[in-house]
Amino acid sequence: MASHLKVSVGQCSDKGRKEINQDFHGVLIPKDAQLSAKGLAVALADGISSSQVSQQAAQSAVTGFLEDYYCTSDAWSVRKSGEHVLSATNSWLHAQTQQSQHRYDRERGYVCTFSGLVIKSTTAHLFHVGDTRIYRLRGSELTLLTEDHRLWVSSEQSYLARALGMDRKVEIDYRSLPLLVGDLFMLATDGVYEYTDAACVEAAIAATLDLDAAAQAIVDQALQRGSSDNLSVLLIRLEQLPDPEANEVFRQVSDLPCPPQLEARDEFEGYQIVRVIKRSARSHIYLAVDQASGERVVIKTPSVDMQANPAALERFLLEEWIARRIDSAHVLKSCAQTRQRQSIYVVAEFIEGQTLAQWLIDNPRPDLATVRGLLAQIARGLQAFHRLEMVYQDLKPDNIMIDTTGTVKIIDFGATRVAGLEEVDSGIEQINLLGAALYAAPEYFLGEMGSARSDIYSLGVIAYQMLSGTFPYGARAARTRTKAAQKKLVYKSVLNEEREIPAWVDDAIRKAVEPNPYARYEELSEFIYDLHHPNQSFLNKTRPPLIERNPVIFWKSVSLVLLLALMFVSVGRFH
Tell me what pLDDT residue 434 has: 47
Residues contacting 284, CB < 8 A, separation 6+: 261, 262, 276, 278, 300, 301, 302, 303
Per-residue model confidence (pLDDT) at position 320: 78
pLDDT (tens digit per residue) in 421-466: 543 344 444 444 444 789 999 999 998 988 999 999 999 999 999 9
In one-letter notation, the amino acid at residue 280 is S
- Residues 86 and 78: their CA atoms lie apart, in Å, by 12
Domain 353-544, classified CATH 1.10.510.10, yes or no: yes
What pTM was estimated for this model as a whole?
A: 0.60
CATH for 6-242, options being 3.40.50.800, 3.30.420.10, 3.60.40.10, 3.40.50.2000 = 3.60.40.10
pLDDT tens digits, residue range 35-86? 887 899 999 999 887 778 889 999 999 998 998 888 776 646 788 889 888 9
CA distance 432 to 498: 38
Interhelix angle for 368-387 vs 524-532, to 10°? 170
CB 312 within 8 A of CB 269: no
User: Per DSSP, what are the bridge partners of residue 136?
Assistant: 143, 185
The pLDDT of residue 253: 53
Q: Is 565 exposed, middle or buried (0-12, 13-18, 19+ CB in 10 A)?
A: exposed
**DSSP code of residue 517:** G
Output DSSP code: residue 497: T
Fold of 247-349: Phosphorylase Kinase; domain 1 (3.30.200)
Q: Same fold for the domain at 247-349 and the one at 353-544? A: no
Task: Identify the DSSP state of 334.
Answer: B
What is the DSSP annotation of 389-449? TEE-----GGGEEEETTS-EEE---TT-EETTTTTS--------S-S-TTTS-GGGGGTPP
Low-confidence ranges of the chain (pLDDT < 70): 1-3, 73-76, 101-106, 153-158, 245-255, 338, 419-435, 540-552, 571-575
User: What gap in Å lies between CA 173 and CA 491, rounded to an integer?
Assistant: 62
Extents of the domains making up the chain? 6-242, 247-349, 353-544, 551-575
